[in-house]
Structure 1
């Protein structure tokens, strides 16, 4: 099947061809015709499946075949994403595929000055890609008119709920017209997602291209057991021995990301951190430098990594396992994309054994363990509670030993209230 059979017009097909794509991915094959038939959809799709083009292309097609909005200030299509990086990625997709059409778009997120966004909105745009918080800022300032929105897309809805944006989403939905086409994309189907879809979608078509919480078969998963104090040494060893040029490394905390970046630099390995405390300009530059190969290692937290879209990223390293097992799926989904093979390596100390067990239970598979001769864990070291407070991301020595790590479910609940755009 080619893109030409999906009902897209010549300008869009030309833009797709220029991007080097000839055959649609499974999510695109299923979603594009359904969206073009003006039906709501609930789509389950992991990162890296081509879902962004799966909704961007039919959205542009529908906009070009319908009458424009009532006034210059009216927004015709609203795309809501959980993070700045993902908003930028979707905005780039709209621009790339819509290059031969006359639509104007604006990317709206926090962390940058609002005035340039106000200026762009005042001139009139057809499509807005926004994070919830900054969108509501514009609503309160009356700088955006959502009363004539024809198309609403919620991208990575599970992450938005996980980050505690449900109230913001409800406020936005209350403003939008009832008559509109709605597309909801989510990597996982939680009870919250089901409740949201029941309220939001009108007789939706269910589209699912991969079973929830299943890692891509193109990703080789390996666990290296190692003492916590030797993780950085092992990481440097793997990078240097493998002569890796592009490695995405995940830490649990912002402080941990900064600390690891500094340590890698001292080891002679170029590295840069990306997390919520960095300015948007700093985050954009870090990602650009990583993509261009000017730095070998990008150290990221889970939230900041949303929107990192690199087709041929060969290595993802879990320097610290995530508190929430579903985040493991999202992390390793950054590699093994677009038909390429990838490797996901987890450096696991004794404190993280419960996290590892929960991940293996989720993916219904035991991950291969590899013990490196020079990095075997010291059997005399006992498990200690993982300190999640204060952004320190490390255990506090001197506390009672043999205490299990904090329940991932409790941590998941706490994190909902802590994360922000």
Structure 2
């Protein structure tokens, strides 16, 4: 393990790290930064909360500081793509703290904000552009941004972007980027599609991995409560009442469910707010800011926030509803135990969620300790019946609605009166 000041970073970066009280890199930073400084493409695998932003941010800024000249109007020198507005804002905030006393500018473009204002500040050019793919394509189609000067591309939380149809957006964006360029791809999980993505867009990448894909941070204590859906509200209030000052993130499956849950908690005297897709960007930003400051202690969210909340003080993550996608469980509980702290991930599992729990445990290769209740006896889901017709005789009671070929339709047998 080495200190940041042993990396040979630009003096301005070393000063920024000292101001932020960063002295030693995390394992993913320890492995990725030297390779990225040498100009290699990077395929980085590490669970959330391990410092991936600095792993790509420090070498990126160092390269840009060494390049003379300001960006031309409408252009950017580096592009960072992320799946959610919250993550874009979090990345940009971290980078701005590092570039505060330099000539570099960091800009963001996300949906839910004034596209006119985004067009205005992009007209002046920027060094680093952090964007969600959808809004970036909108700006490209309006001629508001020119990506031909981009020589550094970062794909952060790329596995979630794949789930959101990102591959189609990347096919639209990538041909517009400058070449040659350095590409860094970071992810917490490694589905097969990710391998294909890396082969298509990275050139001889250096693979850096600090934990098996799908593994949660070591300092997260996990547990599961088996209970009915009707019992969930009471169990949640019981847990929240034990430590009312702790920052707690509660995940619900749907936007409606998150809002209803939040309002019920507020009615019962809990200090709660919510963020989900039906909230405006301003409402989401204000809720996260209040949560970060401790003005609210409970934040109810959908998975839109799973990758975008970087708040070191989150003590508990409660999966009120288990996610449909097992990887999302890893990202959810990764919102706690950040920056070397300890945290707790609590899951509620109703009888109809047992299969989701099994998939999560299969992904993580662990048995989550049971805190209360017991796993219901739920049969394994049956394999779907293959199409292509029945074998042998058609079961009684089935009706295709077609007449047998070469035969007349039989009349129903007349029943005698009893």
TM over 0.5: yes
What is the match of residue 210 of structure 2? 209
User: In 2, distance between residues paired with 1:193 and 1:310?
Assistant: 27
User: In 2, distance between residues paired with 1:178 and 1:271?
Assistant: 48
Structure 1 gaps of 5+ residues are: 384-401, 408-421
What is the match of residue 179 of structure 1? 180
Task: Give TM-score, length-normalised by structure 1.
Answer: 0.87
Structure 1 stretches of at least 4 aligned residues deviating more than 4 Å after TM superposition:
376-379, 402-407
Determine helix, strand or coil for the equivalent of 1:153: strand
Counterparts of 1:7-406 in structure 2, within 5 Å, are: 7-68=8-69, 71-371=72-372
Structure 1 residue 63 displacement after superposition: 0.6
Mean Cα deviation higher: 354-363 or 127-136: 354-363
In terms of fraction of residues, the more helix-rich structure is 1
Larger Rg: 2
Distance 1:113 1:70, change over 3 A: closer
User: In 1, distance between residues paired with 2:255 and 2:283?
Assistant: 14
User: In 1, distance between residues paired with 2:91 and 2:100?
Assistant: 14
Distance 1:332 1:378, change over 3 A: closer
Determine helix, strand or coil for the equivalent of 1:314: strand
Contact 2:306 2:331 in 1 (8 A): no
Structure 1 residue 277 displacement after superposition: 1.4
Deviations 1:304-334 (CA, angstroms, capped at 9, x unpaired): 3321001121100000111111111111111
User: In 2, distance between residues paired with 1:302 and 1:326?
Assistant: 11
User: In 1, distance between residues paired with 2:249 and 2:347?
Assistant: 12
Distance 1:405 1:16, change over 3 A: farther
User: In 2, distance between residues paired with 1:225 and 1:244?
Assistant: 26
Contact 2:246 2:314 in 1 (8 A): no
Aligned residues: 383
Contact 1:6 1:29 in 2 (8 A): no
Determine helix, strand or coil for the equivalent of 2:361: helix
Distance 1:336 1:378, change over 3 A: closer
Distance 1:367 1:115, change over 3 A: same
User: In 2, distance between residues paired with 1:297 and 1:344?
Assistant: 14
Contact 2:88 2:131 in 1 (8 A): yes
Contact 1:244 1:296 in 2 (8 A): yes
User: In 2, distance between residues paired with 1:141 and 1:406?
Assistant: 48
What is the match of residue 412 of structure 2? none
Determine helix, strand or coil for the equivalent of 1:263: helix
